[in-house]
Amino acid sequence: MSFGTVAIIGLGLQGGSIGLAVQEHLPGTQTTGYDLSPAHRARAAERALVHRVCETPAEAVENADLVIFCVPPGVMGLAAEQVRDALPARALVSDVGSSKQAISKALGEALPDHMVIPAHPVAGTENSGPDAGFAHLFRNRWCIVTPAARTDLVKLSELVGFWEALGANVEIMTPEHHDLVLAVTSHVPHLIAYTIVGTASDLEDVTQGEVIKYSAGGFRDFTRIAASDPTMWRDVFLSNKEAVLTMLQRFTEDLTALQRAIRVGDGQALFDQFTRTRAIRRSIIEEGQDDSRPDFGRGDHEAGVDAAE
Ligand SMILES: NC(=O)c1ccc[n+]([C@@H]2O[C@H](COP(=O)([O-])OP(=O)(O)OC[C@H]3O[C@@H](n4cnc5c(N)ncnc54)[C@H](O)[C@@H]3O)[C@@H](O)[C@H]2O)c1
Ligand SMILES: O=C(O)C(=O)C[C@]1(C(=O)O)C=C[C@@H](O)C=C1
CB 99 within 8 A of CB 179: yes
Residue 271 lies in a domain: no
CATH number of the domain at 115, please.
Answer: 3.40.50.720
Residue 119 sits in the same domain as residue 73: yes
Q: What pTM was estimated for this model as a whole?
A: 0.93
Residue 213 binned pLDDT confidence (cut-offs 50, 70, 90): confident
Pocket of ligand 1 (CB under 6 A): 9-15, 34-37, 40, 70-73, 75, 78-79, 96-98, 120-121, 124-125, 128-129, 132, 229, 232, 236
Q: Could you give the CA distance from residue 236 to residue 22 in angstroms, rounded to a whole number?
A: 26
Residue 49's nearest CA partner among 1, 86, 15 is 15
List of residues 6+ apart from 202 with CB closer than 8 A? none
Residue 306 lies in a domain: no
Q: Which residue puts its alpha carbon closest to atom 2 of ligand 2? A: 125
Among residues 143, 173, 203, the one where a domain terminates is 173
Residue 220 sits in the same domain as residue 150: no
Q: Which residue puts its alpha carbon closest to atom 29 of ligand 1? A: 36
Q: What is the pLDDT of residues 257-294, one digit of tens each?
A: 999 999 999 999 999 999 999 998 888 888 776 555 44
Residue 143's nearest CA partner among 173, 123, 170, 117 is 170
- How far apart are the CA of 72 and the centre of ligand 1, in A? 4
Residue 97 sits in the same domain as residue 224: no
CA angle 132, 134, 138 (to 5 degrees): 115
CATH number of the domain at 252, please.
Answer: 1.10.3660.10
Residue 120's nearest CA partner among 166, 167, 163 is 163
Residue 197 lies in a domain: yes
Q: What pLDDT score was predicted for residue 210?
A: 83
Q: What pLDDT score was predicted for residue 259?
A: 98
Residue 293 lies in a domain: no
- How far apart are the CA of 128 and the centre of ligand 1, in A? 8
Q: What pLDDT score was predicted for residue 290?
A: 57
Quick one: which atom of ligand 1 is closest to the CA of 73? 41
Q: What pLDDT score was predicted for residue 204?
A: 79
Residue 41 sits in the same domain as residue 151: yes
Residue 157 sits in the same domain as residue 67: yes
Q: Which residue puts its alpha carbon closest to atom 15 of ligand 2? A: 122
- How far apart are the CA of 214 and the centre of ligand 1, in A? 33
Residue 30 binned pLDDT confidence (cut-offs 50, 70, 90): very high
The pLDDT of 126-150, averaged and rounded, is 97
Quick one: which atom of ligand 2 is closest to the CA of 123? 16
Residue 195 sits in the same domain as residue 52: no
Q: What pLDDT score was predicted for residue 297?
A: 45
Residue 188 sits in the same domain as residue 160: no
**Percent share of the chain, pLDDT over 70:** 93
The pLDDT of 124-143, averaged and rounded, is 97
The pLDDT of 106-124, averaged and rounded, is 98
Quick one: which atom of ligand 2 is closest to the CA of 122? 15
Residue 111 sits in the same domain as residue 73: yes
Residue 185 sits in the same domain as residue 98: no
* Number of residues that make up the chain: 309
Quick one: which atom of ligand 1 is closest to the CA of 236? 43
Q: What is the pLDDT of residues 153-190, one digit of tens each?
A: 999 999 999 999 999 999 999 999 999 999 999 999 99
Residue 16 sits in the same domain as residue 137: yes
Q: Which residue puts its alpha carbon closest to atom 2 of ligand 1? A: 124
Q: What pLDDT score was predicted for residue 303?
A: 40
Residue 109 lies in a domain: yes
Residue 237 lies in a domain: yes
Best probe residue, ligand 1, of 232, 244, 305 (max atoms within 8 Å of C-beta): 232
DSSP 138-163: TTT-EEEE---TT--HHHHHHHHHHH
Give Cα 217 distance to the centre of its chain.
25
Q: What pLDDT score was predicted for residue 1?
A: 63
Q: What pLDDT score was predicted for residue 291?
A: 58
* Residue 295 predicted with pLDDT over 70: no
Q: What pLDDT score was predicted for residue 172?
A: 98
As a whole number, the mean pLDDT across the chain is: 92
Q: Is 144 in the pocket of ligand 2 (CB under 6 A)?
A: no
Q: 138: domain range?
A: 5-173
Q: What pLDDT score was predicted for residue 206?
A: 81
Residue 33 sits in the same domain as residue 115: yes
Q: What pLDDT score was predicted for residue 304?
A: 40
Q: Is 90 exposed, middle or buried (0-12, 13-18, 19+ CB in 10 A)?
A: exposed
Among residues 232, 247, 264, the one where a domain terminates is 264
Residue 281 lies in a domain: no
Residue type at position 232: M
Among residues 173, 200, 231, the one where a domain terminates is 173
Q: What is the pLDDT of residues 67-112, one digit of tens each?
A: 999 999 999 999 999 999 999 999 999 999 999 999 999 999 999 9
- Domains in the chain, number: 2
Q: Is 122 in the pocket of ligand 2 (CB under 6 A)?
A: yes
Residue 113 sits in the same domain as residue 208: no
Residue 301 binned pLDDT confidence (cut-offs 50, 70, 90): very low
Best probe residue, ligand 2, of 14, 17, 98 (max atoms within 8 Å of C-beta): 98
